[in-house]
Amino acid sequence: MYPELGFYDIPEYKRTKHVHRLHPYLGKFIPQLVEWFLSRYFKADDVILDPFMGSGTTLIQGNEMKMHTVGIDISPFNCLIAHIKAAKYDIAKARAEILEVEQRVTLFSKYLTNSSEADLTFFPENRMENLKASLLQECNSEYLRTWFAPRDLLMMLYYRRLIPHYQYQDLLRVVLSRSVRSSRLVPHYDLATPKAPLPVGKQYWCRKHNRFCMPLDNCITKIHTYSGDTVRRIAEFDKLRSNKTIAIIQADSRDVYLPAKLANTALANRPIDGIFTLPPYVGQIDYHDQHIYAYELFGFPRQDELEIGPKKNGKSKQAQQEYITGIVAVFKNLLPIVKSDGRIFVVANDRFHLYPEIARQSGLRIID
Ligand SMILES: C[S@@+](CC[C@H](N)C(=O)[O-])C[C@H]1O[C@@H](n2cnc3c(N)ncnc32)[C@H](O)[C@@H]1O
């Protein structure tokens, strides 16, 4: 009916423009899809809610269009990604911090690789051995010790240790997380759903690059790439953003009491004009697990058991029933604060044809 909604002619760099590519996230939609609907059905100053916020695409696009946005997600790391996209930065300061950390880790990396350029005055030998030992002592994650080469592990632990000394700590966490994701001991073509770690230095046939590759054992090249890329992206969004409110709430959308969460924001007592969301699909993705490396590195609390429709529960009839119950609970919880003529857009690959029943149980009418 709307062939343009395929967005086949939009090149990748536009689908991932500015902050939309600050961190990989499996299962997000593209800003152009959000823009298409928001521009037709809402206006500036409206309040748009996304109860399955994920990495925050709705929030960023809505803000660019001068709308207030509210996002809820159960996963603390997804909230962190959304938060660093939405945050307002002193760009010069953010750039200086990111580049200083990169420089310090580069020095450390040179020492670890015995480069002749290693600045031994900065890391005197005896101090260095103590530093390495104490970094390893701080790592009690079996996952990190298994999925990263020993040198890589030391570098990420060193970067992590530097973070508390800076103002933009979450931004630094995201640069680090993005870098370590790409430097796990996994094939380059399998970064989203790796099965098992490869041995350090083991060659494999790479379907992505069409040649033999080796898994990375040193995240410094990624840190270098993503440090510059992050600065460029936040600076780009800074020129486009509006001053409308962006509220990010880490909670279960089935039972969060939104008015209390918004009470101390500019959106207190404001009804919601509409919902635009991409819910999880039945048995498709484990949203915490896709960022397991970040949970292990930063120790964020996990709430996997509160995810609706996780992959680990499969796609059985029972899983579908639980999914219906979950999504209905979200609508029943949140509809009371949506305007009675508010519009709700749900981007769903409804292969099991569950949404007519979800709408019925939620007291909603499917228009299209
Ligand atoms: C398909 S993703 C949303 C992607 C998002 N539109 C984007 O562009 O990044 C679905 C999200 O729903 C979240 N989720 C799952 N169960 C939830 C629950 N009970 N409450 C709130 N969020 C939940 C997951 O953590 C995941 O981030």
pLDDT band at residue 197 under the 50/70/90 scheme:
confident
Q: What is the pLDDT of residues 149-158, one digit of tens each?
A: 999 999 999 9
pTM: 0.94
Q: Which of 24, 27, 32 is nearest to 8 (CA)?
A: 32
The conformation of residue 2, written as its DSSP 8-state character, comes to: -
Query: By the 8 A CB rule, do 279 and 348 touch?
Result: yes
Q: Which atom of ligand 1 is nearest to the CA of 54?
A: 27
Backbone angles phi, psi at 171, to 5 degrees: -65, -45
Kindly give the distance from the C-alpha atom of residue 278 to the centroid of ligand 1, in angstroms, as a whole number: 7
Q: What is the pLDDT of residues 205-234, one digit of tens each?
A: 888 888 888 888 889 999 999 999 999 999
Residues with CB under 6 A from ligand 1: 25, 27-29, 52, 54-55, 57, 72-75, 78, 252-254, 278-280, 287, 306-308
Tokens of 74: 């159960």
Tell me, in angstroms, the distance from the centre of ligand 1 to residue 280's CA: 6
User: What mean pLDDT comes out for the span 261-282?
Assistant: 97
Domains of the chain: 3-88+243-293+301-362 (3.40.50.150), 91-183+218-237 (no CATH)
| Strand-pair partners of 211 | 206
DSSP strand pairing (211-213 vs 204-206) = antiparallel
**pLDDT per residue over 65-114, tens digit each?**
999 999 999 999 999 999 999 999 999 999 999 999 999 999 999 888 77
Residue nearest ligand 1's atom 1 by CA: 280
pLDDT in tens, 329-364: 999 999 999 999 999 999 998 999 999 999 999 999
pLDDT bracket for residue 307 (50, 70, 90): very high
If DSSP codes are grouped into helix, strand and coil, which group holds residue 157? Answer: helix
User: Whole-angstrom Cα distance, residue 350 to residue 157?
Assistant: 42
Q: What would the mean pLDDT of 253-266 be, rounded to a whole number?
A: 97
